[in-house]
Chains A and B, each alone.
Chain A
Amino acid sequence: MATIPTTASGIAAAIASKKITAREVIDSYLAQITAREPDIHAFNLVTADAARAHADAIDADIAAGRPVGPLAGVPIAIKDNLCTHGVETTCSSKILEGWKPPYDATVVSRLRDAGAIMVGKTNLDEFAMGSSTENSAFGPTRNPLDTSRVPGGSSGGSAAAVAAGFAPVSLGSDTGGSIRQPAALCGVVGVKPTYGLVSRYGLCAYASSLDQVGPFATTVADAALITEAIAGHDAMDSTSIPQPAPALVASVSQGVAGMRIGRVTDLPAGAEPEVIARLNEAFAALEAAGATIVDVTLPSLSYALTAYYLIAPAEASSNLARYDGVRYGLRVNAVDTNSMYGATRAAGFGDEVKRRIMLGTYALSAGYYDAYYGKALKVRRLISEDFERAYTQVDVILTPTSPVVAFPFGDKVDDPMAMYLCDIYTIPTNLAGHPAMSVPFGTGAHGMPVGIQVLAPALGEAPMFRVGGALENAAGGLK
């Protein structure tokens, strides 16, 4: 058997040119899953039979000379909060265990149309609420680089799947850092596109004004390729930007000569010294590649955590009202509907989901609305205006993705505030609706990977990928 390429673009090219078959590729990845999944637990469900059948169908198309999609035969893992028609979708919650959606998320159908093969549904913090996957009702995912440590979250399963070689690419969702933070902790690339660039239809809603679907990959070019495949207007999402998907892969190799890179002089403190050291090396590498480093200030950034942990729970408390034991998922029977709702939701939701629902309900309740939710929305405006000002001076901004490297299990799980602080550098982008990505850049404490975050203005994916590509080149030189 020919060697299986490790990138999505390499796999697609090798299959299209008949150097290897889609079946050989999928069998190779499924073998890796069989070997290591018991130690990692990246998946809630592995769809091995369907994946093999899909691969055989693609091989038959290619043998018969029928046209195939640009991702034909590329294995992909899908976060288990994205609806897959007839395939169990749980959000890692007991309240949805066993639910088979009656439709596909738009991103899922677009990937299938492009020929990508789903290998399984990946584990997450319940309803995407968390930064370690320890909040999954079905047990945590372990970091493939050190199984005593968390993979990050909430898309920890999707990050671990790519880091462990279970798939060359995967999809996650990012509400406050849930793609970028696990990408950083697992040493892979993760992208949160501009709000509205990728359809949210079929993504189980957590906080609708913040949620966005995006890819994980081992290379920046693969991340651009998958972003291209899932982006573009969708009539099923009323917040979808009415524009076609942008061309992004070409940006990755364009270099950064002449670009202006922002360095935040009032970055909130708390990052480990090794993380700050890598950030400084990243600035030096980009300067050496021809970019100019420009100091910017974002004075409201330190208030982003408060704004986020009022706005996201407020939206969640409304979105998660739909899990009431009537139309799908768990029901705990009771004498009347009201008792049934209370008993079902108490039995079906885990503690972190309950905390956020209660926090959001409180922030929206009579007498507290102006003091909490109303104030948070104004802080959101200040943060957005800070970015607008900064982007008149620079093309992109560089920060750490996570203040810390992957931490041991149990480290923060009993202290919600400590866990929330993991998102301090990723949250501001979601509040503004801008794109951002995490690129692996050397290692920090305990030899664990460090991710550098590239932030860009709305629809600034092209400059973001240019800088991501340059960081990847420089990081390759570090190794």
Chain B
Amino acid sequence: MSPSGTPISAADVAKVARLARLDIDEAQVVHFTEQLAKVMGHFSDIDALDLSGVGAMTQPFPLVNVLREDVEQPCLDTDEVLAAAPSSDQRRFRVPPIIGLDD
């Protein structure tokens, strides 16, 4: 059981895979659901803790704004960066159509 009271389901796993842009097939959904349910089962241990009045800790030390002087500095070489891309065109990254051809 998870802290929310219900174990993770195959439908949950299929949904998060979609949200995370991971194409996984039905057999993998079953496989991952089994593994993730076991891992999340362990997480119920923190249900025993009284966390009222405890502040969330997102970082080891408080973050502060870091600013630098607004002066021009060298940046990465555009040609070198584009050379590492799967596809580029007119000094830009090239991607497939944003909207599917059959939409």
* Chain A residues within CB distance 8 Å of chain B: 99-103, 195-196, 209, 235, 238-239, 241, 300, 302-303, 305-307, 309-310, 317, 321, 324-331, 333-343, 345-346, 349, 354-355, 357-359, 361-362, 365, 367-368, 371-372, 374-382, 384, 415-417, 420, 431-434, 458
- 6 chain-A/chain-B pairs, Cβ below 8 angstroms: A235-B66, A300-B49, A306-B43, A354-B17, A358-B17, A375-B51
Main secondary structure of the interface of B (DSSP, over half): loop
Instruction: Report which of B19, B49, B95 forms a contact with A365, defined as CB distance below 8 A.
Output: B19
Q: Could you tell me if A416 and B39 are in contact, using CB atoms closer than 8 angstroms?
A: yes
Known: A239-B63, A309-B39, A331-B87. A365 touches B16 (CB 8 A): yes
List the A side residues contacting B66 at CB < 8 Å: 235, 238
Among B46, B51, B85, B100, the one with the most A-chain Cβ atoms within 10 Å of its Cβ is: B46
List the B side residues contacting A384 at CB < 8 Å: 57, 60
Q: Could you tell me if B86 and A358 are in contact, using CB atoms closer than 8 angstroms?
A: no
Q: Could you tell me if B96 and A334 are in contact, using CB atoms closer than 8 angstroms?
A: yes
List the A side residues contacting B24 at CB < 8 Å: 346, 354
Q: How far is the CA of A116 from the CA of B97 in the complex (A)?
A: 47
Known: A306-B43, A310-B43. A196 touches B60 (CB 8 A): yes
Q: Could you tell me if A376 and B35 are in contact, using CB atoms closer than 8 angstroms?
A: no
Q: Could you tell me if A358 and B23 are in contact, using CB atoms closer than 8 angstroms?
A: no
Q: Could you tell me if A343 and B23 are in contact, using CB atoms closer than 8 angstroms?
A: yes
How many residue pairs at the A-B interface have CB separations less than 8 Å?
179
Which chain B residue lies CB-closest to A346?
A: B23
Q: Could you tell me if B95 and A326 are in contact, using CB atoms closer than 8 angstroms?
A: yes
Q: Could you tell me if B61 and A196 are in contact, using CB atoms closer than 8 angstroms?
A: yes
List the A side residues contacting B2 at CB < 8 Å: 371-372
Instruction: Report which of B60, B76, B87, B99 forms a contact with A336, defined as CB distance below 8 A.
Output: B99
Task: Say if the beta carbon of B30 comes within 8 Å of chain A.
Answer: no
Q: Could you tell me if A372 and B43 are in contact, using CB atoms closer than 8 angstroms?
A: yes
A207 to chain B, nearest CB (A): 11
List the A side residues contacting B80 at CB < 8 Å: 102
Known: A102-B84, A339-B100, A358-B20. A306 touches B60 (CB 8 A): no
Task: Say if the beta carbon of B56 comes within 8 Å of chain A.
Answer: yes
Q: Could you tell me if A324 and B38 are in contact, using CB atoms closer than 8 angstroms?
A: no
The 8 closest A-B pairs by CB, nearest first: A433-B60, A331-B86, A377-B56, A336-B100, A342-B23, A381-B57, A346-B23, A371-B4
Main secondary structure of the interface of A (DSSP, over half): helix
Known: A196-B61, A336-B98, A416-B35. A378 touches B55 (CB 8 A): yes
List the B side residues contacting A331 at CB < 8 Å: 86-87
Q: Could you tell me if B23 and A380 are in contact, using CB atoms closer than 8 angstroms?
A: no
Q: Could you tell me if A417 and B42 are in contact, using CB atoms closer than 8 angstroms?
A: yes
Instruction: Report which of A209, A340, A417 forms a contact with B96, defined as CB distance below 8 A.
Output: A340
Q: Could you tell me if B45 and A306 are in contact, using CB atoms closer than 8 angstroms?
A: yes
Q: Could you tell me if A337 and B42 are in contact, using CB atoms closer than 8 angstroms?
A: no
Q: How far is the CA of A417 from the CA of B42 in the complex (A)?
A: 8
List the A side residues contacting B55 at CB < 8 Å: 378, 381
Which chain A residue lies CB-closest to B98?
A: A337
Known: A306-B43, A375-B51. A333 touches B16 (CB 8 A): no
Among B4, B35, B55, B68, the one with the most A-chain Cβ atoms within 10 Å of its Cβ is: B35
Q: How far is the CA of A306 from the CA of B41 in the complex (A)?
A: 10
Q: How far is the CA of A417 from the CA of B35 in the complex (A)?
A: 8
Task: Say if the beta carbon of B59 comes within 8 Å of chain A.
Answer: yes
Q: Could you tell me if A359 and B39 are in contact, using CB atoms closer than 8 angstroms?
A: yes
Q: Could you tell me if B22 and A377 are in contact, using CB atoms closer than 8 angstroms?
A: no
Among B20, B38, B40, the one with the most A-chain Cβ atoms within 10 Å of its Cβ is: B20
List the A side residues contacting B102 at CB < 8 Å: 335
List the B side residues contacting A371 at CB < 8 Å: 2-4
Q: Could you tell me if B22 and A346 are in contact, using CB atoms closer than 8 angstroms?
A: yes
Q: How far is the CA of A100 from the CA of B58 in the complex (A)?
A: 32
Among B15, B22, B68, the one with the most A-chain Cβ atoms within 10 Å of its Cβ is: B22
Which chain B residue lies CB-closest to A336?
A: B100
A315 to chain B, nearest CB (A): 10
B47 to chain A, nearest CB (A): 9
Q: How far is the CA of A151 from the CA of B65 in the complex (A)?
A: 40
Q: Could you tell me if B95 and A379 are in contact, using CB atoms closer than 8 angstroms?
A: no
B82 to chain A, nearest CB (A): 9
Which chain A residue lies CB-closest to B3?
A: A371
Contacts A324-B21, A432-B60 known; 9 new A-B pairs at CB < 8 A: A209-B60, A326-B85, A336-B98, A337-B97, A355-B36, A372-B4, A375-B46, A377-B57, A379-B46
Q: How far is the CA of A331 from the CA of B77 in the complex (A)?
A: 22
Q: How far is the CA of A195 from the CA of B103 in the complex (A)?
A: 48
Please encode chain B, from 4 to 37, with 1 for each CB lying within 8 Å of some chain A CB and 0 for all others: 1000100011011101111110000000100110
A330 to chain B, nearest CB (A): 7
B1 to chain A, nearest CB (A): 11
B71 to chain A, nearest CB (A): 13
